[in-house]
């Protein structure tokens, strides 16, 4: 539910929603203006939604928040204007006082222009603070600020209160700036902004049409300098595309016939025609935006901890103020206690840091689906890799083809290509590509049964064709007793695809899938970042798994696994106390991705099912993004801990000095608000500065 985007009203919105009978918890996300309600399921959703709308429409304060504006804040500009007016009035009054050498007293002190201007500038804060007491019967940071402003007004200390209001607005501006910077960067980076495209008609002519009229299956033409508006496959032409908006990779990629391209990338040179596969809201770029928006509403555990800590520390200021007044009767010391609180620094800096981290990751082509994963990534100690398409490139090549029982090499490829025609497995694509290169006719298939972790069974030309592992063949009682097959198994870096027709072996296709470039460096960097165990899971044979594990110096491997076996192993590692990150890209990986603490999909060949099951999506094919991701999470959590320590220590010292009368209310306000702004700056810089390296950063970090 979209409610508005005003950071200063978050507590008020949540508190008002909690007054509704079925609502027992509410969370307002500043970055997206999203209200998340937890309510009794006995109440229908439509009824709860109606109550919320009525609540906002009947309450002037919150009704204003429903006016959603692009700048992300409805009231902040007007608050700044009021603040500036109060400062001007204060400056004029101080100048006149110096001239008169006299200070107002009694009621005149309270009714002087500066105090009235202060109350006018602080009207929203005072109202929000009082509403919080009346609605939730609890005090919070807004309540404390409201009481501090009123106390300053009563005592004629307008200067101290103006510092509070001014610096609070400055902190809010900084928070809004960081959040808007994240949103605007991502929106600008991912904005499609292509109203018209060139559609290629059947006669070969190109006509300009609105993007909304393009449907999957149509062909569009893209000229040099134009932005690609659909996800699809190049059918004609050559060129280079800039995919930095999607992958963070600023080196253009060469594309030709058969290459996949994505909406949002830019054709830097050449001319291409694209067969549209995904259009509109179904494109990768649109789904990225949706995921980023959803991510902002998923809070990290440390954000909840910060909120609880801040809420528990607010009463401390009131208790200290009461104690100081009882002991000293000194209103200056009392105002010192009211001017200092922990809540702003704790909550705002934590939210800002998490938001900045998600934006920074998106800038590098990494989509994090929630703030909690930022925190958990910093605690990862076990990384589990799938093999095909994750550790390996997922672009295997055929090295050898054996054929038996009077079948030919062409027969083996034709039947295998027909059975694998609609499979998303990288090996299937290899067979199909080989068949096209050899210009072989692929027979039509009938019913196809996908046997996860084993292979495929299909009806082709009235025959039952099996394509898959030797385990599938054994389960279907296909005889594999051939000397040539045993000799072929000696190749350590090759995988075998067995093809059988009517339960007799037709042939064996030997394929080689090389390890991804940069995977060795990825493993080394992960170890430097504190990863204790790196494991390989695969459905392939032990021989091949052992070869790759030894080549990359992995800690362990598990081979010949079904999808449920992978999921059970992930659960086993988690039950052992490990914080597990699973990296995969295929349908077979989806259960394991779902069971891991963090499921990560890597590479351009990832499947939709894997993307849905995963918590983090790395758009590009660069495995070095994995250590970059963990480094970002560790840096973010380090920043948050720094903010916690700074906020508590500085404000505690200031509170002690204020209680002793060592500092004035003006100085107390300056110390408190300067600390809040300082930790906000510390959080905001995450989105701007380069990630801290470990002596061996990725290529992206160097560029």
pLDDT single digits (tens) 378-412: 999 999 998 887 888 877 888 888 888 889 999 99
Residue partners of 88: CB distance under 8 A and separation at least 6:
none
Beta bridge partners of residue 153, listed in sequence order: none
Which residues participate in catalysis according to the annotation? 386
Say which residue, 571 or 125, is predicted with more confidence.
571
Provide CATH code, domain 397-512.
3.40.1110.10
Does domain 7-66 sit in CATH 3.30.70?
Answer: yes
Angle at 131 between CA 130 and CA 137, to 5 degrees: 90
Q: Stretch 2-23: mean pLDDT, rounded?
A: 59
pLDDT per residue over 554-588, tens digit each? 999 998 887 788 888 998 998 888 899 999 876 67
- Give the CA distances from residue 415 to residues 427, 454, 467, 504, 578, in Å, rounded to whole numbers and listed in that order: 14, 17, 9, 13, 45
- pLDDT tens, position by position, 423-448: 767 678 889 888 988 888 888 888 88
Instruction: Give the architecture-level CATH label for domain 196-282.
Output: Distorted Sandwich (2.70)
Please spell the DSSP secondary structure of 163-212, one letter per residue.
HHHHHHHHHHHHHHHHHHHHHHHHHHHH-----EEEEEPTTS-EEEEEGG
Return the pLDDT at 642.
93
Fold classification of 371-392+515-614 is Rossmann fold (3.40.50)
**Buried residues in 276-301 as b, exposed as e (16+ CB within 10 A):** bbbbeeebbbbbbbebbeebbbbbbe
Tell me what pLDDT residue 535 has. Answer: 95
pLDDT band, very low/low/confident/very high, at 696 (cuts 50, 70, 90): very low
Tell me, what's the pLDDT at 697?
40
How many CB atoms are closer than 10 A to CB 154?
13
- The model's confidence at residue 42, banded by pLDDT at 50, 70 and 90, is low
Report the 10 Å Cβ neighbour count for 342. 27
What's the average model confidence in pLDDT over 96-103? 52
CATH 3.30.70 in the chain, residues? 7-66
Q: Which residue, 603, 594, 699, 599, is CA-closest to 284?
A: 603
Instruction: Show the tokens assigned to 91.
Output: 């400056």
CATH 3.40.1110.10 segments of the chain: 397-512
Give 593: exposed, middle or buried? Use CB within 10 Å, 0-12, 13-18, 19+: buried
pLDDT, tens digit, 9 for 90 and up, residues 52-77: 776 666 544 333 333 333 333 334 55
What is the Cα–Cα distance from 380 to 375, expressed in whole angstroms? Answer: 9
pTM of the model as a whole: 0.66
CB 95 within 8 A of CB 76: no
Please indicate whether residue 673 or residue 137 has the higher confidence score (pLDDT): 673
Beta bridge partners of 398: 511
Rounded Cα distance between 671 and 358, Å, is: 30
Q: For residue 693, give the 3-state DSSP assignment.
A: coil
- Residues in contact with 309: Cβ distance below 8 Å, sequence separation at least 6, in sequence order: 342, 346
Q: Is the pLDDT of residue 544 over 90?
A: no
Query: Tokens at residue 194, please?
Result: 């292509």
Q: What is the pLDDT of residue 701?
A: 37
All CATH 2.70.150.10 domain ranges in the chain, comma separated? 196-282
pLDDT of residue 66: 36
- What is the mean predicted confidence (pLDDT) over 471-497? 72
Q: Has residue 80 got a pLDDT over 70? A: no
- CA–CA gap between residue 495 and residue 508 (Å, rounded): 10
Average pLDDT over every residue of 214-221: 90
């Amino acid at each position: 539910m979209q409610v508005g985007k005003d950071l200063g009203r978050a507590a008020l919105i949540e508190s008002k929603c909690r007054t509704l009978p079925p609502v027992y918890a509410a969370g307002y996300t500043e970055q997206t203006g999203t209200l998340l309600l937890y309510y009794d399921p006995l109440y229908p959703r439509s009824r709860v939604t109606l109550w919320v709308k009525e609540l906002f429409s009947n309450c002037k304060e919150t009704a204003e928040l429903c006016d959603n504006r692009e700048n992300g804040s409805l009231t902040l500009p007007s608050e700044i204007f009021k603040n500036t007016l109060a400062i001007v009035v204060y400056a004029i009054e101080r100048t006149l006082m110096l001239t008169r050498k006299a200070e107002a007293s009694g009621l005149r002190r309270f009714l002087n222009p500066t105090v009235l201007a202060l109350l006018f500038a602080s009207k929203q804060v005072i109202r929000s603070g009082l509403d919080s007491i009346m609605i939730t019967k609890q005090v919070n940071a807004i309540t404390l600020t409201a009481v501090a402003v009123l106390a300053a007004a009563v005592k004629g200390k307008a200067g101290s209160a103006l510092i509070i209001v001014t610096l609070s607005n400055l902190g809010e501006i900084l928070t809004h700036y960081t959040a808007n910077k994240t949103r605007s960067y991502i929106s600008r980076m991912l904005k499609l902004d292509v109203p018209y495209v060139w559609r290629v008609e059947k006669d070969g002519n190109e006509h300009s049409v609105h993007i909304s009229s393009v449907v999957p299956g149509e062909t569009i033409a893209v000229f040099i300098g134009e932005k690609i508006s659909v996800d699809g496959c190049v059918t004609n032409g050559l060129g280079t595309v800039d995919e930095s908006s999607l992958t963070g990779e600023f080196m253009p990629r060469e594309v030709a016939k058969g290459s996949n391209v994505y909406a949002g990338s830019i054709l830097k040179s050449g001319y291409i025609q694209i067969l549209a596969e995904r259009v509109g809201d179904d494109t990768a770029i649109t789904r990225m935006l949706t995921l980023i928006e959803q991510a902002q509403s998923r809070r990290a555990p440390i954000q909840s901890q910060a909120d609880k800590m801040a809420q528990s520390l607010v009463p401390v200021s009131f208790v200290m103020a009461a104690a100081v007044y009882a002991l000293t009767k000194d209103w200056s010391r009392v105002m010192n206690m009211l001017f200092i609180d922990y809540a702003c620094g704790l909550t705002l800096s934590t939210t800002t840091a998490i938001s900045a981290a998600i934006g920074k990751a998106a800038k590098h082509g990494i989509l994090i689906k929630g703030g909690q994963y930022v925190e958990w990534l910093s605690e990862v100690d076990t990384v589990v890799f799938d093999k095909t398409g994750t550790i390996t490139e997922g672009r295997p090549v055929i090295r050898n083809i054996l054929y038996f029982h009077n079948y030919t090499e062409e027969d083996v490829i034709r039947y295998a290509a027909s059975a694998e025609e609609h499979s998303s497995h990288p090996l299937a694509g290899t067979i199909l590509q080989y068949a096209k290169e050899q210009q072989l006719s692929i027979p039509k298939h009938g019913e196809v049964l996908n046997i996860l972790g084993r292979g495929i069974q299909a009806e082709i030309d009235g025959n039952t064709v099996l394509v898959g592992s030797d385990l599938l063949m054994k389960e279907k009682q296909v005889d594999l007793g051939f000397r040539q097959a045993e000799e072929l198994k000696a190749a350590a870096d090759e995988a075998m695809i067995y093809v059988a027709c009517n339960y007799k072996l037709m042939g064996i296709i030997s394929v080689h899938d090389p390890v991804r470039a940069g995977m060795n460096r990825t493993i080394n960097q992960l170890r430097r970042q504190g990863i204790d165990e790196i494991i390989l899971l695969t459905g392939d044979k032990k021989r091949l798994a052992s070869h790759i594990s030894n080549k990359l110096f992995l800690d362990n491997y598990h081979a010949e696994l079904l999808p449920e076996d992978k999921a059970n192993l992930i659960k086993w590692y988690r039950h052992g106390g490990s914080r597990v990150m699973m990296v995969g890209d295929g349908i077979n990986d989806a259960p394991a991705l779902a069971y891991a603490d963090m499921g990560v999909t890597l590479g351009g060949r990832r499947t939709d099912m894997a993307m849905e099951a995963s918590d983090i999506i790395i758009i590009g094919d660069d495995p070095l993004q994995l250590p970059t991701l963990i480094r970002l999470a560790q840096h973010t959590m380090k920043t948050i801990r720094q903010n916690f320590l700074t906020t508590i220590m500085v404000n505690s010292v200031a509170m002690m000095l204020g209680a002793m009368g060592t500092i004035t209310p003006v100085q107390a306000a300056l110390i408190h608000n300067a600390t809040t702004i300082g930790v906000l700056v510390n959080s905001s810089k995450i989105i701007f500065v380069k990630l801290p390296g470990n002596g061996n950063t990725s290529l992206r970090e160097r560029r």
